[in-house]
Amino acid sequence: MSSRPKVVLLRPATRGEPQRDAAPEATPRREGLLVALARALEAGRHGLGWENVADLWSAAYFSWHSEDVDEFGRDARFIETIRPLLEFLYTVWWRVEPAGVENVPAEGPALVVANHSGVLPWDGVMITLALRHEHPARRECRMLVLDMFALLPFLAPTLARSGAVRASQENGERLLRQGELVGVFPEGVKGVGKRYRDRYKLARFGRGGFVRLALRTSAPIVPCAVVGAEEIHPVLAKADWVGRPFGLPYFPITPSFPLLGPLGVVPLPTKWSIDFSDPIPTAGYGPEAAEDPILVNRLSEQVRSVIQRMIDGRLARRRSVWFG
Amino acid sequence: MGRIALTGTASLLGGRLLRRLAETKGPDRLLVVDVAPPPAALAVRHRAVDLTAPAADQRLLDVLREEQVESVLHFAFFTSPRRDTVYTHELESIGTLAVLAAAAAAGVGRVVMRSFTAVYGARGQNPAFLTEDRPLQPDPATAWARDKLEAEQHAASFSRRYPDLKVAVLRFAPLIGPGVHTFYTRILDRRVVPLLMGYDPLVQMLHPDDALGAAEAAVDRPVAGPFNVVPLRPIPLLTALHLAGKIPLPVPHPLAYPAVDLMWAAGVGEAPGRFCDYVRFPFVADGERARRELGFSARHASRDALLAYIGYRHPQARARAAEAPA
């Protein structure tokens, strides 16, 4: 026992390549998992110790997580890790067709307001990708996600690592004041969990919280319409009582879920389009206008009707759910 | 110039503050008000006052008057939960009441009090950064947090009733770094560290040097009200464990709460089950007010504080930890 040599890790080799998704906290790469494995095996000839297990585990962990995250928990390397999967979904699975991306301001704060659908927040992920890859300034959109997603075990840390932030006035205001691009779904749970027969009918836009957010920070509002996400998990019925003990706000029954078990979370390969309309400026009203409920409601309805019009236009031109 | 009285000088922060002030202000200006005497080498005056004794406020008032005290630094709080909740309550809640009452009656200009960001309560609904105006909502069933909450409430109420008494409350994020020994560092000292399955909140870890810097700044500035004292950046809990070279053991949370409670009741645990909330939900605080009004900003990120602790506690075990932060 006492003769067991301790494995002392050397300073990890840093690869010079700059990260494509350069966040301020992007940390240099540690030595890879294979190197750690080789070291553990080398040491393991004398018997594998706790240190080796911990080293291996941490090498595995840091092979796809950064050592440092931004103040909201966004992890640059984690985003890099899941990028291939998300790009596959974007280009192959859903063949997302963005339009009007240049309507999103190239710099400064702005609030992207979109319709919410599809049971799981894939629409937010695809809006983020559209702006990251197709916008001339490659803008990084921080999605504000529902409490339910931000609190669910496993999903919550994943969303936080990929840059999403729990939806609240404080968080949204902080992001916008830092000049970030922020995305919101004012329909909230009423939108994302609606039945298939209610598809593309916008639910009530909360209580106008997103308008107050934009007014307070003088951020322009960019209405955004996502078409195609409603059909990825067609909700035939809801059995909310099943999910309640697990803290789920709804429990959808789709053709594949829960019938096919884990396979049921594979979304259907519909054809998507994401439209961004002209920004609606809010700077002219002044921050105190956030306390005017009539104005807030009017702006909220204006945004809602713009989005509904964009959706209706797309639907009228769409021939097939699968091919657009 | 009057004296500066300190309580809780046996704690890490109180003790280090005493040493620092003895250097900067000179030992003659300091007075230790505690049951335990300070180290003789410091040559600081000591008056034994037991804050849990009946009529502690009267005794303290006499001491403050006789020694011509102008500020009181109140650091007599327990960082770790204790099984003796009666004594803890007497010291933290009632003891703070005695300190504030005596300070107000003696005409002491200011009180600097230690508090904890954990008093905000770890909740899923918390914003990413808690500001000082956020209501304090710790779990009412946790005696540890309840006593701190009551101390804060006494401070707020005295500030209202005695406008001349400037009470600054420093809400420190959890301390980690050289010299820190608490219930969470004892958990962190193990090889295998349990955590809740599927939860990975951002946590703040404050380097004791930063905490000391904030306390020093508060001694010299006539500020009042609560101040969050926080590190530069939070860190995800799981990342922290892996940085420290620990093996995380994920436990489903419906199982963890009763299991931790059982261990606490059996005398082997470090904290009651309700403390699982603090590794489940975030309680990250915003340090903007301290930056603006105290002129304090931390020099260490949470990651640096953690690595400093690992380097101090397990220097030989982790070559990685000793490595200077990038």
CB contact under 8 A, A73 and B245: no
pLDDT digits (tens, 9 = 90+) for B198-215: 999 999 999 999 999 999
Q: Is the pLDDT of residue A304 over 80?
A: yes
- Order of strands, edge to edge, in the sheet holding A221-227? A97-99, A273-276, A221-227, A110-114, A181-184, A141-145, A165-166
Q: Is B239 a member of any domain?
A: no
pLDDT band at B326 (very low <50, low <70, confident <90, very high): very low
- A223 vs A127, A197, A220, CA distance in Å? 12, 24, 10
Number of domains composing chain B: 1
Alpha carbon distance, N-terminus to C-terminus of chain A: 67
**For A246, nearest residue in chain B (alpha carbons):** B254
Distance CA(A255)–CA(A242), nearest Å, equals 17
Q: How many CB atoms lie within 10 A of CB A213?
A: 26
Q: Is B134 a member of any domain?
A: yes
Distance CA(B184)–CA(B192), nearest Å, equals 13
Q: What's the gap in Å between the CA of B255 and the closest CA on chain A?
A: 14
CB contact under 8 A, B202 and A69: yes
Residues 6+ apart with CB under 8 A from B266: none
Predicted-complex ipTM score: 0.86
Q: Give the closest residue to B311 by CA, choosing from B208, B173, B179.
A: B179
| Chain A residues in contact with B200 (beta carbon < 8 A) | 156-157, 160
Distance CA(B14)–CA(B95), nearest Å, equals 16
- B38 vs A65, B18, B33, B225, B280, CA distance in Å? 46, 9, 9, 29, 39
Question: Which pLDDT value is given to residue A223?
Answer: 97
Compare A53 and B319 and report the one with higher pLDDT.
A53
Question: Which pLDDT value is given to residue B218?
Answer: 95
Question: Which pLDDT value is given to residue A37?
Answer: 77
| Segment holding A238, helix H or strand E | strand A237-238
Q: How many CB atoms lie within 10 A of CB A30?
A: 23
Question: Which pLDDT value is given to residue A14?
Answer: 36
Q: Is the pLDDT of residue A1 over 70?
A: no
**For B234, nearest residue in chain A (alpha carbons):** A71
Average pLDDT over residues A104-132: 94
Distance CA(A135)–CA(B323), nearest Å, equals 40
Question: Which pLDDT value is given to residue B46?
Answer: 96
Q: Is the pLDDT of residue A45 over 90?
A: no
Q: What's the gap in Å between the CA of B274 and the closest CA on chain A?
A: 18
- B176 vs B286, B296, B309, CA distance in Å? 18, 18, 6
B36–chain A Cβ distance below 8 A for any pair: no
Distance CA(A222)–CA(B291), nearest Å, equals 34
Compare A6 and B256 and report the one with higher pLDDT.
B256
- The distance from CA A237 to its chain's CA centroid, rounded to whole angstroms, is 26
Distance CA(B259)–CA(B254), nearest Å, equals 9
pLDDT digits (tens, 9 = 90+) for A195-246: 898 899 998 898 899 999 999 999 999 999 999 999 999 999 888 888 787 7
Beta carbons of B183 and B270 less than 8 angstroms apart: yes
Beta carbons of B95 and B57 less than 8 angstroms apart: no
pLDDT band at B151 (very low <50, low <70, confident <90, very high): very high
Q: Is the pLDDT of residue A7 over 90?
A: no
Going from N- to C-terminal start, the domains of chain A cover: 33-62, 78-232+267-317
The SS3 call for residue B167 is strand
Share of chain A above pLDDT 70, in %: 88
Q: Give the closest residue to B218 by CA, choosing from B68, B113, B108.
A: B113
Distance CA(B48)–CA(B33), nearest Å, equals 6
B200–chain A Cβ distance below 8 A for any pair: yes
Range of the domain at B292: 3-176+206-231+285-299
Q: Is the pLDDT of residue B320 over 90?
A: no
Distance CA(A10)–CA(A15), nearest Å, equals 15
Q: Give the closest residue to B177 by CA, choosing from B302, B284, B77, B79.
A: B302
Average pLDDT over residues B252-273: 94
pLDDT band at B317 (very low <50, low <70, confident <90, very high): low
Q: Is the pLDDT of residue B268 over 80?
A: yes
Average pLDDT over residues B320-325: 42
Q: Give the closest residue to A11 by CA, choosing from B240, B302, B312, B318.
A: B318
Q: Is the pLDDT of residue A51 over 90?
A: no
Residue with the two structure tokens 């019009």: A309
Residues 6+ apart with CB under 8 A from B211: B13, B172, B175, B229
Q: What's the gap in Å between the CA of A35 and the closest CA on chain B?
A: 15
Among B125, B134, B242, the strongest candidate for a mutation testing the A interface, having the largest count of A CBs within 10 A, is B242
CB contact under 8 A, B128 and A165: yes
**For A169, nearest residue in chain B (alpha carbons):** B127
Question: Which pLDDT value is given to residue B154?
Answer: 97
Please provide the CATH number assigned to the domain covering A78-232+267-317.
3.40.1130.10
User: In chain B, positions 131-160, which contact chain A (CB-CB < 8 Å)?
Assistant: 131
Residues 6+ apart with CB under 8 A from B261: B269, B272, B273
Specify the range with the lowest mean pLDDT, choosing from A254-263, B11-20, B113-122: A254-263
pLDDT band at A150 (very low <50, low <70, confident <90, very high): confident
Share of chain B above pLDDT 90, in %: 92
Question: Which pLDDT value is given to residue A15?
Answer: 37
pLDDT band at A47 (very low <50, low <70, confident <90, very high): low
Structure tokens at B229: 């004292």
Q: Is B23 a member of any domain?
A: yes
Q: Is the pLDDT of residue A104 over 90?
A: yes
Residues 6+ apart with CB under 8 A from B84: none
Question: Tell me, what CATH number does B155's domain have?
Answer: 3.40.50.720
Mean residue pLDDT of chain B comes to: 93
Q: What single string gives the DSSP state of each residue in B85-151? A: HHHHHIIIIIHHHHHHHHHHHTT--EEEEEEEGGGG---TT--SSB-TTSPP---TT-HHHHHHHHH
pLDDT band at A20 (very low <50, low <70, confident <90, very high): very low
